[in-house]
Amino acid sequence: MLEVRHLSFSYEKHAVLEDLNFKVAPGEYLAVMGESGCGKSTLLKLLYGALPFEGGTILWKQHAIKGPEYQLVPGGEFIKYLAQDFDLMPHATVAENISKFLSATEPEKKNTRIKELLQTMELQQYRDVKVNLLSGGEQQRVALARVLARRPEVLLLDEPFSHIDHFRRNNLRRNLFGFLKRENISCICASHDYHDVLPFADRVMVLRDRDILDIRPTADLFEKPRNLYTAELLGEANLVPIEVLKSYASTTRNIIVYSHEFRISAKSGMPVTVKHSFYFGSHYRIYGIMESGKGVYFDTESPMEKGKKIYLNVSLETINKRMPI
């Protein structure tokens, strides 16, 4: 169990994180989300022991993780950190980079581990290629394989697929997060991409204004977001007055509605004028204007003509499960 108690950090007297408290169970994947500059990368560095924290405690199985003033080399055998710079050996081969921290006294076991990680990261064809000849995305995959080589108990990932081509990301996500589950490795992953999060994370932590805005199981956070900020991290979200969706509603509160949750009617509902259609392959995302002048996004199977007037509806089930704000 990783336990963080009252963790705080400031940079040149500017508070970045204040009084964070959370736990991560063995084998759990906790995703950390938030806008740029909210402290995601800083948190990972603190957990690794690469930054001095001014207050609080970090424990892994009662082992205290301390800052650089207590240990010159951050981390330890049980915890690995993959930053956005990969720190690879550029003139060594892919296999040599992966095996850097593996014991040479058991060559058969070592080669089995290298083969397994090459397959997981889809790097088989690059086994004997020097790293400096690889693309940025290929190097990122090598770096991922290397941090996994020694079977850490905790893995810290900072935007782990940021350099990888979109067409390859989905399969690598499945490979990586499936591998971590099988090996019971706890993972804390900072990401701005909900594709890294929704299908795989056990829980999501949302950072904002130096604090934890929310931390809950992934599906619960998505289905019942408590604010628009959180919802927009996980999809295309709108803040809509209940009374314009349901005219009989007695409240003036707003609810959060994702673009895919709207249904179109030709006769009744929330009046909207179509302004633009965006092609997304499997669907179109339509941008329209409500009578209040506020914009709204909703999804359809086909494009819609600019200037067309339609009505949007939301199911009672969706309205009831959302916490009004």
Strands, sheet with 284-290, edge to edge from the N-terminal-most edge strand: 263-265, 309-313, 270-279, 284-290, 295-300
Architecture of domain 2-227: 3-Layer(aba) Sandwich (3.40)
Model confidence, pTM: 0.91
pLDDT digits (tens, 9 = 90+) for 259-312: 999 999 888 889 999 999 999 999 999 999 999 999 999 999 999 999 999 999
Q: What is the mean pLDDT of the chain?
A: 92
- Dihedral sign from CA coordinates of 222, 228, 232, 237: positive
Q: Which pLDDT band, with edges at 50, 70 and 90, does 41 fall under?
A: very high
Q: Percent of the chain having pLDDT more than 90?
A: 74
Query: Which of 128, 104, 105 has the alpha carbon at shortest distance from 115?
Result: 128
pLDDT digits (tens, 9 = 90+) for 51-74: 988 889 999 988 889 888 877 777
In this prediction, residues 132-139 reach a mean pLDDT of 93
Q: How far apart are the first and last CA of the chain?
A: 34
Q: Percent of the chain having pLDDT more than 70?
A: 97
Query: Which pLDDT score, from 0 to 100, does residue 164 have?
Result: 87
Query: Which pLDDT score, from 0 to 100, does residue 132 have?
Result: 94
User: CATH code for 236-321?
Assistant: 2.40.50.100
Query: Which of 118, 109, 110 has the alpha carbon at shortest distance from 179?
Result: 118
Residue ranges covered by each domain of the chain: 2-227, 236-321
- In the predicted structure, residue 177 carries a pLDDT above the cut 90: yes
